[in-house]
């Protein structure tokens, strides 16, 4: 018994000592995060979610163009009684990008067919199928393509709703967004009432050689203004091939040849024109002047032998001067007589006529012509002195002739 009592007393003393010694418990401090950090982090997360939602809306808007099947959903809500009500959802409202997203579960059954009591068909776009069981956020643009499916639209608790899928022609689909509406509009085909016989005809119009030549002449003149002699030469040559009887074009081309120091080609070109028109005064005059410049007076007189009707004074004067230089009295006399008749007040013509008459020993006629020339205006002193000397000589010759 003493042993037992001793043990009990020791135990009692031990418990007494344990009850008297109380030590402070060490409790670790709980670190509290600052509210500013949570505020900044929450704002950053909301902005990221909003950006993701906008990008998903743009992606889903592009997928609306390829929709070929329409998923129709009928939602039946049960309240206190099991009465059936028709829920028409023509549009799906998009939540604000900054609000918290509520995930909905979608259970797809491929073997069970459920006949809905009241079905209201809502047009939804299609996307590519992913798997048999898909969790989809409540975004109006990411619905799952299926054949027969049951979709729950209530967040808590999840209920299955019978769905009837009807394959119809693509119809108009509208998606409501917080700030914009993406709408599938029907394709409008414009119908233009066009007459059956209306057509575009290409008419081949042939220009005459004269019209083509005029175009070449215009280009040649423009080239000359730009000092482009090569182009002018080409265009004038083309124009002359089209209208070989155009004397002006022929003269201009001959002038270009002469400018290139090809006098032979220029003279040949003018002679070819004279053969085409033997009565051409312009070509004869141009050829004679060219030959005179080339110191060929005999050849120059050849084209001037022909006197056209109503020949110009320049033509007759050139003819008379060349003939006088070559001492061809008959041609010179004929030319000066014509000139004196046309312009009787020109002392030059009377002087030339008097010289030719004197050469033909027609002293009386020569004396009269010299006297006529001396009495006209425009005679220089040197010419006047020459005329007086010739008159004295003629008078002496006439006296000798009368004395004999």
Q: What is the 3-state secondary structure (H, E, C) of 4-51?
A: HHHHHHHHHHHHHHHHHCCCCCCCCCCCCCCHHHHHHHHHHHHHHHHH
CA–CA dist 394, 99 (Å, integer) = 136
Rounded CA separation 370/347 (Å):
9
The mean predicted confidence, pLDDT, of the chain is: 73
Mutual angle of helices 297-304 and 313-325, in 10-degree steps: 140
Q: What angle do CA 293, 297, 303 make, to 5 degrees?
A: 95
Q: What is the pLDDT of residue 257?
A: 95
Q: Is residue 355 one of the residues assigned to a domain?
A: yes
Rounded distance between C-alpha atoms, residue 185 and residue 79, angstroms: 38
362 in a structural domain:
yes
pLDDT tops 70 at residue 400: no
Residue of higher predicted confidence among 399 and 53: 53
Where are any strands of DSSP class E within 115-171? 133-137, 150-151, 163-166
Per the rule left: phi > 0, alpha: psi between -120 and 50, beta: everything else, 361 is left
Tokens of 34: 């600052």
Q: Yes or no: say if 140 and 132 are a contact pair by the CB < 8 Å rule.
A: no
Matching residue, tokens 């209201």? 120
Find the CATH number of the domain harbouring 363: 1.25.40.10
Distance from the first to the final alpha carbon of the chain: 223
Is residue 269 situated within a structural domain?
no
Q: Give pLDDT tens digits for 315-342.
A: 999 999 999 999 999 999 999 999 999 9
Please state the domain count of the chain.
Answer: 1
Q: Is the pLDDT of residue 33 over 80?
A: no
Q: What is the pLDDT of residues 268-323, one digit of tens each?
A: 999 999 999 999 999 999 999 999 999 999 999 999 999 998 899 999 999 999 99
Check whether 165 has a pLDDT greater than 70.
no
Q: Categorize the per-residue pLDDT at 224 as very low, low, confident or very high, splitting at 50, 70 and 90.
A: very high
- Cα 294 from Cα 325, distance rounded (Å): 15
Residues whose CB falls within 8 Å of the CB of residue 326, separated by 6 or more in sequence, listed in order: 297, 298, 301
Q: Assess if residue 347 is contained within a domain.
A: yes
Average pLDDT estimate for 226-231: 93
42 pLDDT tier (thresholds 50, 70, 90): confident
- What pLDDT band is residue 184 in, cutting at 50, 70 and 90? low
Q: Compute the Cα dihedral for 202, 208, 211, 212 and give only its sign.
A: positive
CA distances from 217 to 159, 168, 234, 235, 244 (A): 94, 73, 10, 6, 13
pLDDT of residue 13: 74
pLDDT of 55: 79
pLDDT of 214 higher than 80: yes
Q: Is residue 128 part of a domain?
A: no
Q: What is the DSSP code (8-state) at residue 93? A: B
Answer yes or no: is 379 within a domain.
yes
pLDDT at 31: 58
* Residue 176 confidence (pLDDT) above 90: no
Looking at the domain assignment, is residue 329 inside a domain? yes
Looking at per-residue pLDDT, the higher value among 383 and 137 belongs to: 383
Q: Give the residue with greater pLDDT, 96 vs 390.
A: 390
Taking the CB of residue 396, how many other CB atoms lie within 10 A of it? 10
> Domain for residue 173, yes or no?
no
**Quick one: pLDDT at residue 149?**
39
Q: Output the pLDDT for position 177.
A: 42
Q: What is the pLDDT of residues 370-395, one digit of tens each?
A: 999 999 988 899 999 999 999 999 88
Q: Which residue has the higher pLDDT, 395 or 195?
A: 395
Mean pLDDT of 201-228: 90
Q: Which pLDDT value is given to residue 19?
A: 52
The residue among 323, 388, 384 whose CA lies nearest residue 359 is 323
Q: How much is the pLDDT for 27?
A: 56
Q: Which of 35-39, 182-186, 223-227 has the lowest mean pLDDT?
A: 182-186
In terms of residue numbers, what domain contains 319?
308-403
């Amino acid at each position: 018994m003493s042993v037992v009592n001793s043990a009990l007393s020791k135990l009692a003393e031990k418990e007494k000592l344990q009850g008297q010694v109380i030590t402070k418990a060490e409790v670790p401090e709980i670190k509290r995060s600052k509210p500013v950090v949570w505020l900044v982090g929450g704002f950053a997360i909301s902005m990221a979610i909003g950006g993701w939602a906008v990008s998903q809306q743009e992606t889903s808007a592009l997928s609306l163009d390829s929709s070929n099947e329409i998923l129709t959903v009928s939602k039946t809500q049960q309240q206190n009684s099991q009465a059936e009500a028709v829920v028409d959802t023509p549009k799906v409202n998009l939540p604000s990008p900054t609000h918290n997203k509520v995930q909905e579960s979608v259970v797809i059954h491929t073997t069970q067919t459920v006949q809905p009591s009241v079905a209201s068909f809502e047009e939804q776009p299609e996307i590519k199928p992913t798997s048999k069981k898909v969790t989809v956020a409540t975004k109006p643009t990411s619905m799952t393509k299926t054949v027969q499916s049951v979709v729950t639209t209530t967040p808590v608790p999840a209920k299955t709703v019978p769905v009837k899928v009807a394959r119809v022609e693509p119809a108009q689909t509208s998606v409501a967004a917080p700030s914009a509406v993406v709408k599938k509009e029907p394709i409008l085909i414009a119908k233009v009432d066009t007459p059956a016989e209306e057509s575009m005809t290409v008419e081949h119009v042939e220009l005459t050689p004269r019209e083509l030549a005029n175009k070449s002449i215009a280009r040649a003149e423009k080239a000359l203004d730009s000092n482009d002699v090569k182009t002018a030469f080409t265009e004038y040559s083309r124009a002359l091939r089209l209208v070989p009887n155009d004397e002006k074009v022929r003269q201009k081309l001959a002038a270009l040849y002469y400018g290139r120091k090809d006098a032979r080609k220029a003279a040949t070109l003018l002679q070819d024109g004279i053969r085409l028109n033997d009565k051409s005064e312009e070509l004869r005059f141009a050829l004679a002047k060219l030959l005179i410049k080339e110191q060929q007076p005999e050849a120059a007189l050849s084209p001037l032998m022909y006197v056209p009707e109503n020949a110009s004074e320049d033509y007759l004067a050139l003819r008379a001067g060349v003939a006088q230089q070559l001492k061809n009295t008959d041609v010179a006399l004929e030319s000066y007589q014509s000139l004196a008749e046309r312009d009787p007040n020109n002392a030059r013509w009377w002087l030339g006529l008097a010289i030719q008459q004197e050469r033909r020993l027609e002293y009386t006629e020569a004396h009269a012509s010299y006297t006529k020339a001396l009495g006209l205006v425009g005679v220089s002193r040197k010419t006047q002195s020459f005329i007086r000397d010739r008159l004295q000589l003629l008078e002496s010759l006439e006296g000798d002739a009368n004395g004999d």
